[in-house]
Chains A and B, each alone.
Chain A
Amino acid sequence: MSGHSTYQPKNAFSRWMDARLPVGRLVWDSFVDYPTPRNLNYWYTFGGILSLCLGVQIITGIVLAMHYTPSAAGAFNSVEHIMRNVNYGWLIRYIHSNGASMFFIAVYLHMFRGLYYGSYKAPREVLWILGCVIYLLMMATAFMGYVLPWGQMSFHGAVVITNLLGAFPIVGETITTLLWGGFAVDEPTLKRFFSLHYLLPFVIAGVVVLHVWALHVVGQNNPTGVEPKSKADTVPFTPYATVKDGFAMSVFLILFATFVFYMPNALGHADNYIAANPLVTPAHIVPEWYFLPFYAILRAVPDKLMGVLAMFGAIGCLFALPWLDTSKVKSMRYRPQAQLYFVIFVVTCWILGVCGGKLPDDHVIPHLKTFTLFDADLNSYVWLSRITTLYYFAYFLVVMPVLGLVEKPRPVPETISSPVLGDSDKKD
């Protein structure tokens, strides 16, 4: 969509600047005059919200780093110092810690949106993969950030996750030693995690620029999945998208503020307010909520290496998706069968998240003992996570390739504007 520019410098200074470094023109072309499909719905506002989240994390993070001590002896106390002594320290820390959760809520909705409307399909493969890279970097950043307060969950979470990499044959132990900088998670580990936790958000910002660049080359997808064909199909970014994004951000910020001010610890774990003790593991150790589905997949597999591979494979599937989906129709709005599988997929991810937070041997239906299948009772969270893990992979590796070949999609409109301006096409 990078057509010709309509930017008109309005005064002498902007004309002077435009001939030397045309930032004004870039902003105008990208965020004012930029044509967006006229039928974008609120699922399309999460991109803007995500940029907001990144900005919030960077600003609050830089402030926290001014008061934080990256040492095994000082970290926990410095976070308490931020909470008790630093002016508004509690506010800034709660914005940062809840901000991470808000960031993930937004990214998951943004990704499910992409899955539903087929936003990963040609010509948006690179755009999609850059998004997956951002997601991976976010997970690394959030994991290392969670280690910084050096509480019990921080410490033992770090132990478990770094040990995961030890599962790889031959290189595994070398990698864990390299991460630890010693023979266990300790002082050197904390210091390097702090350094990287400071760095990665800026790497994310860089990849976001590429992501948006790729977006502006191929143009936005839209709920019909039909590419814009004429001017009637698009509206300018400003005011249409800016106002819609702005409204969505305001609603999102209300949710954000509700967490920060009314339940700042609802998404965290009480154990992390106990200083790290390498000699005692908390009885029930779980990662942050946004990692739970992957944690469930890890535990669903009885073998250590296979479990780790399944966990990484779950993310790998996302990268491969553009080539796994064989459907000619982009948007699931016109793929009734795909809709069904998609809804099951979303529920599956939710159930996996629930399983990840439970003890594997706990009963799903309380007090009901069924029978032991291989190594666990059938009515247990391990078995529930095994079934859902199976569906998770089947969605990518079976449903996506096969359904595209056998399904009978509904008729797709000629242009974006035809269903909007006329026909009785069902909206969803």
Chain B
Amino acid sequence: MAWPFIAQMNPSADTMALASVEYDLTKIEPGMQVTINWRGKPLFIRNRTQAQVDAAVKDDGASMPDPQPDAERHKEGKAQWLVLVGSCTHLGCVPTVGGGDYQGWFCPCHGSHYDTSGRIRKGPAPLNLVVPEYAFLSDTKVKIG
């Protein structure tokens, strides 16, 4: 009997009908990032410069809380494009691009530093910024979700 009253709190059918978004990548210059709204959450699409990619790859072996090589964080052959859920894995604030000790992202709320691969390097956040499900529809278009 109590279940319907608890279950009504869960996401409703229209919320569950997961919205997906498409984005035209030509709008993003190298070194820039856009933030779009995806299912009520911020989503980062970042066009990384070669230097930023190199910095991320160079640190693949460094010790970090949630180790993962840079190659696993982007689609094959698309190292310049990073697509990430823009919620800090600590308590969900939106990290600012380009800040912090590793020039990836810095979360102002409690000081989490992410590198240019979106990996957590320093601070209270336990995990890397999440890579959502997405696909390239063409060289210049991605579909997220």
Contacts and interface: CB of A to CB of B under 8 A. Distances in A.
A183 B145 CA distance: 13
B40 A186 contact: yes
Contacts of B10: 177-178, 181
Contacts, number: 84
B124 A307 contact: yes
B91 A281 contact: no
Main secondary structure of the interface of A (DSSP, over half): loop
Interface residues of B, number: 28
B131 to A, nearest CB: 16
A354 B114 CA distance: 28
A170 interface: no
B41 interface: yes
Interface string A191-221: 0100000000000000000000000000000
B94 A280 contact: yes
Contacts of B9: 178-179, 181, 192
Interface in A348-370: 359-361
A302 interface: yes
A163 interface: yes
Nearest to B109: A285
Interface of A: 156, 159-160, 162-164, 177-186, 188, 192, 278-285, 299, 302-304, 307, 359-361
Contacts of A180: 11
A313 to B, nearest CB: 18
Contact of A160 (B35, B36, B92): B92
A359 B123 CA distance: 13
B15 A181 contact: yes
B41 A184 contact: yes
Contacts of A156: 93, 109
B9 to A, nearest CB: 5
Contacts of A304: 90-91, 124-126
B124 A302 contact: yes
Contacts of B108: 281-285
A281 B124 contact: no
A278 B37 contact: yes
B98 interface: no
Contacts of B110: 299, 360
Contacts of A285: 93, 108-109
A193 to B, nearest CB: 12
Contact of B40 (A178, A185, A284): A185
B26 interface: no
Nearest to B126: A304
B67 interface: no
A188 B15 CA distance: 10
A186 B15 CA distance: 11
B39 A183 contact: yes
B37 to A, nearest CB: 6
Nearest to A283: B108
Contacts of B111: 359-361
Contact of A182 (B15, B86, B92, B94): B15
A186 B35 CA distance: 17
15 contacts: A159-B91, A163-B92, A177-B10, A178-B6, A181-B10, A182-B39, A184-B41, A188-B11, A188-B15, A279-B42, A284-B108, A299-B110, A303-B124, A304-B124, A307-B124
Contacts of A177: 10-11
